[in-house]
Amino acid sequence: MKRFMIGMAMGLTVVGLLAGCGRQSAALVTVAGSTAFQPFAEKLAEQFMAMRNDVNITVQGGGSALGIQAARSGTAQIGMADLVQLPPEAAELVSTTVARDGLALIVHPANGVTNLSIEQVRGLFNGTLKNWKEAGGADQSVRVVSREAGSGTRSSFEQTVGGIRLTAEAIIQDSNGTIRETVANDPNTIGYLTHGLLSEKVRAVRVDGVDCTEAAILEGRYKLVRPVFLLTKGAPGGAAKDFIDYVLSPEGQGMIRSYGLLPAK
Amino acid sequence: MRNTGERIVQNALMLVAFSALASLLLIAVFIFKEGLPFLLRTGLRDFLLSSDWRPQEGHFGIYPMIVSSLWVTFGAMLVGAPLGIACAIFLNEFVPKSVMRVTKPTIELLAGIPSVVYGFIGVIVVAPLIRSHLGGPGLSVLCAAVILGIMILPTVISISVDAIGSVPNSYREGALALGATRWQSVHMVVLKAARSGIVAGVILGMGRAIGETMAVIMVAGNSVKIPHSALDSVRTLTANIALEMGYATGQHRQALFATGIVLFVFIMILNSLAMAAMKKSVK
């Protein structure tokens, strides 16, 4: 019993010490939302905090919808959303575009199709084109891979292509990474992911004859692009403004670029 | 002095025991509180029997998920139950006790492997095999059934081993004395006597299969549709909740909690069946 008590006391002391380690006087900024932008925001926050001792930034995921909700309710000073069109409830928020992200359509390297028109992409994902033959490929049935309902990547994709009502046959995967794995394992699939996560295991298809490259996205020739927004309630102020300014600064934009996203302008 | 100490420990233990119960109760209350208003508003029939699941457009029908959950679980039973029961018979009746002492804990180790690992093996090994030999997307009812079938083995085996082990030796001796062969004594006497324990093991395994989430998300493909064959990709109730909970707000979120209620009821039914079966075996 006695030993147990001592153990407890020691445990509590350790917890207390750890809790005491946080920066006491720092201004707290919470950033929440898009899981696609979260890893980038974390790195940017890390760099920012290295320069500014008086600010403490916590970055949370939860998805674009949650980012909008959190910014509105004030649980986060900054919401992250990567949607082509912000929903009506985000109208009251001030949005700052901090990056752009291309969505690459991917197929297995062995798939013969190299170019798809927007019309064909729509047909494939709606389930009206069921055979690769109809899109200029081999005589094989098409398997569509998409993200779960509510995903920012999925809604951006569906909005930029337009008129998509996803076929019930579609396989659903819950992250960019698992979509890539699924497509890399099956020659008859087609999926989409953020172009920063392309790898040699899959091949990006040209859309309307345009390759999904950084240059094509920057010049506006590649169509499937979505913006990344940072949202604040009212004009950003204080530490939140400083952080957004840092993200937009040449240094911040350079980092965004080096991580595979595209700068805002 | 000693008495007070004893009383303190006793009360503390009771508190711990009740807190486990209370957390179960709290979880149940929470799920029902979040999901029930939605169920009442949408109506049980529209929710359970509609196959239109488009949360963005306000359509919440989980019929395909219910059917898929049942198919995947049934498939897992087809794979896991015969294997598990056969393994339990073999361990109890046909090998020396020393082998059993090594084998049984090893099999129980299977239960300690994280489900992500099972899912990974499903994606990397089982799904490509199915795709190249049988066709379809690979991520399918069949793939989920095979993986879940393996995952429930420890449950089925360890409970069946205990049930078969508790059959008195006099039964076996009696059967042998009447001229039965070893196999005859096993399947005509021992299995009959241990039947309800084995059934309980299978039902508990079924509960594990229907509740498994991570591995199923990885191997079942998650299409929202009623499967037409074992090679079709499907989404189970658990996968539906886990996939969409991260993004869901408002009505969508409530619909996922309502999905949780359905799952809760399923598992309650399975567990009570298992308990009833076990009670019978005690008699």
* pLDDT (0 to 100) of residue A217: 85
Helices (H), B114-249: 115-121, 127-134, 141-151, 153-165, 169-177, 182-185, 191-211, 214-220, 237-245
Q: Who's near B47: CB < 8 A, 6+ residues apart?
A: B38, B39, B60, B61, B62, B255, B258
A127 and A207 belong to one structural domain: yes
Chain A residue nearest residue B216, CA to CA: A173
Partner residue facing B244 (CB), from A149, A168, A170: A149
pTM: 0.80
Q: Answer yes or no: is B24 within a domain.
A: no
Sign of CA dihedral A239, A242, A248, A249: negative
Least confident of A22-36, A47-61, B49-63: A22-36
**Residue B55 binned pLDDT confidence (cut-offs 50, 70, 90):** confident
Partner residue facing A181 (CB), from B123, B225, B244: B123
Residue B216 belongs to a domain with what CATH number?
1.10.3720.10
* pLDDT (0 to 100) of residue A37: 85
For residue B145, what are the domain limits?
48-282
Which secondary structure element, helix H or strand E, spans residue A79, and what is its range?
strand A78-81
Give how far Cα A104 sits from Cα of A11, A115, A212, Å. Answer: 50, 12, 6
Q: Answer yes or no: is A128 within a domain.
A: yes
Distance between CA atoms of residues A26 and B253, nearest Å: 35
A81 close to A64: Cβ distance less than 8 angstroms: yes
Q: Answer yes or no: is A116 within a domain.
A: yes
Mean pLDDT of chain A: 84
Partner residue facing B137 (CB), from A65, A178, A186: A186
Q: In this structure, what DSSP letter does residue A191 have?
A: E
Chain segment B255-267, per-residue pLDDT in tens: 999 999 999 999 8
Q: Which residues of B touch A172 (CB under 8 A)?
A: 221-224, 235, 243
Q: Is it the case that residue A25 has pLDDT exceeding 70?
A: no
Count of structural domains, chain A = 2
* pLDDT (0 to 100) of residue A69: 86
Q: Which residues of B touch A150 (CB under 8 A)?
A: 55-56, 244, 246-248, 252
* pLDDT (0 to 100) of residue A3: 52
Give me the torsion for CA of B246, B252, B255, B256, rounded to 10°: -10
Q: Which two tokens stand for residue A70?
A: 């959190």
Chain segment A109-124, per-residue pLDDT in tens: 998 898 999 999 999 9
Chain A residue nearest residue B246, CA to CA: A62
A156 and A180 belong to one structural domain: yes
Q: Answer yes or no: is B12 within a domain.
A: no
Q: Answer yes or no: is B219 within a domain.
A: yes
A214 and A169 belong to one structural domain: yes
Q: Answer yes or no: is B130 within a domain.
A: yes
A116 and A214 belong to one structural domain: yes
A32 and A125 belong to one structural domain: no
Chain segment A41-88, per-residue pLDDT in tens: 999 999 999 988 888 999 988 778 888 888 998 889 999 988 888 888
Q: Answer yes or no: is B271 within a domain.
A: yes
**Residue A22 binned pLDDT confidence (cut-offs 50, 70, 90):** very low
ipTM score for this prediction: 0.78
Among A59, A82, A81, smallest CA distance to A72 is for: A81
* pLDDT (0 to 100) of residue B281: 60
Q: Is it the case that residue A11 has pLDDT exceeding 70?
A: no
CB pairs under 8 A between A and B: 68
A184 and A212 belong to one structural domain: yes
Q: Answer yes or no: is B1 within a domain.
A: no
A246 and A176 belong to one structural domain: no
A69 and A121 belong to one structural domain: no
pLDDT, greater one: A14 or B7 = B7
Count of structural domains, chain B = 1
Inter-chain residue contact B223 with A151, CB threshold 8 Å: no
Per cent of chain B over pLDDT 90 is 66
* pLDDT (0 to 100) of residue B215: 94
Residue A189 belongs to a domain with what CATH number?
3.40.190.10
Q: Answer yes or no: is B99 within a domain.
A: yes
Partner residue facing B249 (CB), from A65, A151, A174: A65
For residue A115, what are the domain limits?
102-218
